[in-house]
Chains A and B, each alone.
Chain A
Amino acid sequence: MVADNVSFTRALVATNFKATVALRGAFVIQVVFMALNNFTFFIFWWALMQHVTTLRGWQLGDIQMLFGMVAAAFGLTVTVAGGVRHLGRFIEDGDLDTLLTQPKPVLVNALGLRSQPSGFGDLVSGLIFIVWSGQISWSRLPIVVVVIAASAVIFVACGTVFFSLAFWLGRVETVATQLWELLVTFSLYPEPLFGGTLRLLLFTVLPAGFVGYLPVRILRAPSLANVTILMFVATGYLCLAVLIFNRGLRRYGSGSRFTTFG
């Protein structure tokens, strides 16, 4: 049973990857341009930090690491679980129909569709940023991998929750996309910029704190306690997401609920 599901998931990821690289030209362009996109954006920080060397204790290297971390985790998310950003539309338009007639977990099946080629650009540029930050020695590579994976899990879980709102609210595409983008946006800025109630939000509903800030703290000074917290939190968000999705699935209307039916 477990072995079957593992072999299925592996086959799904492989098929997904194959489909992504099928149009080689488009794939290469997306990867290169997304990486270029990230580097261009970073010119902002680079220019600013030429004038201000530290920003509440953060230096350019720290920002580079944060930026790299989040880009890599985001890239991993949309390459392996690219379906997450389409869940809302799948739910509304009845695209889960086929998946529901297959004997495999619907969420896994749905997440594994639509890998985004641009994600590879994010992943690659993210790793370059991390190396370039000059703060990571090769011996810390395993921690980097673990932290990026945990962060990606939280991204997937949040996306699942945001887009699963479609089960209850119908057209949530825009709202959910905005929430998702807010999460990404907040996680790209240095932690000390945010205080007060906003901080509470950033460690709960929009856990930028867990996808960006905590990982950076771990990479700067690895501590078993922080790694444990991160793993624990990632598992928690994932369980919540699975629970909410499966709850919602009971209300699934195959695209008929809010429109007409046939």
Chain B
Amino acid sequence: MPRAAAVELDQLSKSFRVRRARSTGVAARLRDLFSGETQTVCAVDKLSFSIAPGERVAFIGPNGAGKSTTLKMLAGILQPDAGDVRVLGLVPSRQRRQLAFQIGTVFGQRSQLWYQLPPRDTFELLGRVYEVDAPEHRRRIDALSSVFDLGTLVNTPVRHLSLGERMRCEIVASLLHSPRMLFLDEPTIGLDVSAKATIRELLWTQSEQERVTLLLTSHDTGDMERVCTRAIVINHGRLLWDGPIAALRRSYLKAKRVTLWSEAEHLELTLPGVRVLSSGAYRTELEIALEITPLGQVVDAALRQTAIRDMAIEDAPLDEVIRALYATAATGSVPS
């Protein structure tokens, strides 16, 4: 086999039949019952992309964009309606079991750990599930436990673990059989800031060390930026944007945000492409469209009026970039 893509989607589609909201009144309800009126909603619409082995990809989109549906088709959970999918050279819907040996999944909203038992019990059962030879499996449990700093957690019943601790165990569980590909659906949902940071760092290191291909969906742009190098953005089941995360910033962030603290109480800047976001005494916040007026010109103009005591230059947060992306998608023109 040539060095094939880890994931390959070609014109993948999936729709769901959704039952109409029930009408009220006995007669209407009876009618509903017999006509069985359903509505077809297209969740994934002719989606194509491919991912090379070892890549770490963030899969981004608003609620209902079709991210989870796509992920589930890749993992062999859902059957596609049309189009082709290959994961590690296998067709998930037909070769589910073979594929299962080579992929790992983490669903932030579901657990594969046995709630009443310590994670170690689940880990050991997973050894039988993935048919790993017992001594080797035990070594793997110990190795991953130390990387993920599980310590005594492996022997603590899951019901006593915090969400962050549990998620670390979930990820270990999904890595035990040394999968070549890891799918993560909202792995940091509900976690606090420091737990999120830990998870991100561990995911990054682990995939770096073992060359695990990673595809993760998240609503948290921090997950994408800290873990992934590439972003695939979809909306309404269709591809909106695909490329390096840095490029996503650049192509959408043609503006910088500058805050100036001045000697004079007020600054009057009327330059093309410069918008005052807020201004108070001695402080002015600007958004500058760099292609129209370079940053230097703005600073020069300010210095001509007064002395500048301090200055902060920021990119707009990735959140805003993505929001802008959806907005332009809605109006029709998508640069890439």
Contact = CB atoms under 8 A, between A and B. Distances in A.
| A–B direct contact (CB < 8 Å) | yes
Give the residue among A10, A11, A103, A252 with the most B Cβ atoms within 10 A: A103
A246 to B, nearest CB: 11
B121 A254 contact: no
Interface stretch (B13-21, B201-209, B244-252): B13-21
B116 A260 contact: no
Q: At the interface, is chain B mostly helix, strand, loop or mixed?
A: mixed
Contacts of B129: 8, 102-104
Contacts of A40: none
B110 A95 contact: yes
11 contacts: A12-B125, A97-B72, A97-B110, A252-B79, A253-B16, A253-B78, A257-B17, A259-B18, A261-B16, A261-B41, A261-B64
Interface of B: 16-19, 41, 43, 63-69, 72, 75-79, 96-98, 100-101, 103-105, 107, 110-112, 114-117, 121-122, 124-125, 128-131, 157
B116 A98 contact: no
Contacts of A4: 128, 131
A98 B78 contact: no
Nearest to A95: B110
Contacts of A50: none
Contact of B76 (A18, A19, A101, A253): A101
A23 interface: yes
B131 A11 contact: no
Interface string A89-102: 00000111110111
B68 A262 contact: yes
B280 to A, nearest CB: 41
A61 interface: no
Contacts of B43: 256, 261
Interface string A41-73: 000000000000000000000000000000000
A252 B96 CA distance: 14
B71 to A, nearest CB: 10
Contact of B69 (A15, A20, A22, A261): A261
Contacts of B122: 15
Interface in A61-89: none
Given A15-B125, A256-B69, A261-B16, A97 B107 contact: yes
Q: At the interface, is chain A mostly helix, strand, loop or mixed?
A: loop
Contact of B63 (A23, A100, A262): A262
Contacts of B17: 257-258
Contacts of B77: 96-97, 100-101, 252, 254
Closest 3 CB pairs of A and B: A103-B100, A22-B116, A11-B128
B49 to A, nearest CB: 19
A254 B109 CA distance: 13
B190 to A, nearest CB: 16
Given A19-B117, A261-B43, A262-B67, A11 B18 contact: no
Contacts of A98: 105, 107, 110-112
A92 to B, nearest CB: 13
A260 B39 CA distance: 11
Contacts of A137: none
A103 B64 contact: no
Give the residue among A4, A97, A258 with the most B Cβ atoms within 10 A: A97
Contacts of B157: 22
Given A256-B43, A260-B18, A100 B117 contact: no
A262 B67 CA distance: 7
Nearest to B100: A103
Give the residue among A101, A256, A262 with the most B Cβ atoms within 10 A: A101
B128 A19 contact: no
A250 to B, nearest CB: 6
Interface in A236-262: 250, 252-254, 256-262
B209 to A, nearest CB: 23
B114 A15 contact: yes
